[in-house]
Amino acid sequence: MRLQKYMASCGIASRRKCEEIIAEGIVFINGTVVSEPGHQVDPDKDIVMLNGKIIQQEQKYYFLFNKPENVLCTSGDSRERETVIEYFKNVDARLFTIGRLDYKTSGLIIVTNDGEFANHISHPRYNCTKEYQVKINNFLTDGDIIKLKSGMIIENHLTSHARVFLKSRTKNISVFNIIIHEGRNRQIRNMVEQLGYRVLKLERLKIGEITNIGLDRGSFRELSKNEIQTLLNI
């Protein structure tokens, strides 16, 4: 098994992030530093250490969390703001979020210690859709709906086509749902702001076919085996 894949299976981070950790020269196999990804590991024979501690495969956890606003998708914050991982203090595992929702965005996010699973869900090529509800401060024109659907240039990147469903609009407020499969930083906020609107509220309603139904804000539940398999089959 490749080192980065093994580390991801141990819940260290996503495979891509593990490659970055390996490059830092802080991973040892049988007492020898390894700084190149791709090194082969035999979990039954080799001892892998990170920052002086042995890492090994552990029980896998898969949670669906309904994130409130003003909560960070990180394990810690220098400004002591509330984080997603603080909600999981009673779970004895090194958990992390799959992707991120920004500080002001609420809604669904998956929390796990399975780096391979995280890599599958977060990579654009697997086409895992996410549905959001957006509330903005003005009348959303038909022309701007077409722009949102067709793709926009954000930070020199053309966003993929999206599906947009208008829920309501007045001269002061519009509400619409948008379905995307990319996960670029602040993508929806940037798209909306580029069109001259201001986001008043942004909530993620669905990940794939998994919805927030029955899950209160600030609560979490374990994903079912069927839900996990459905996400892996995307």
225 burial via Cβ count (<10 Å: 0-12, 13-18, 19+): exposed
pLDDT exceeds 90 at position 8: no
Provide the pLDDT for residue 203. 98
Task: Write down the domain spans for the chain.
Answer: 3-54, 62-124+214-232, 129-207
Digit-coded pLDDT (tens) for 19-28 = 999 999 999 9
Of 44, 77, 102, 216, catalytic: 102
Digit-coded pLDDT (tens) for 166-200 = 999 999 999 999 999 887 889 999 999 999 999 99
pLDDT band at 147 (very low <50, low <70, confident <90, very high): very high
Q: Which amino acid is at 159?
A: T
Q: How far apart are the first and last CA of the chain?
A: 24
What the block records as the tokens of 64 is: 């669906």
Task: Tell me the whole-structure pTM to 2 decimals.
Answer: 0.80
Identify the CATH number of the domain defined by range 129-207: 3.30.70.1560
Identify the CATH number of the domain defined by range 62-124+214-232: 3.30.70.580
For domain 3-54, the question of CATH label 3.40.50.720 is answered with: no
pLDDT band at 44 (very low <50, low <70, confident <90, very high): confident
102: annotated active-site residue: yes
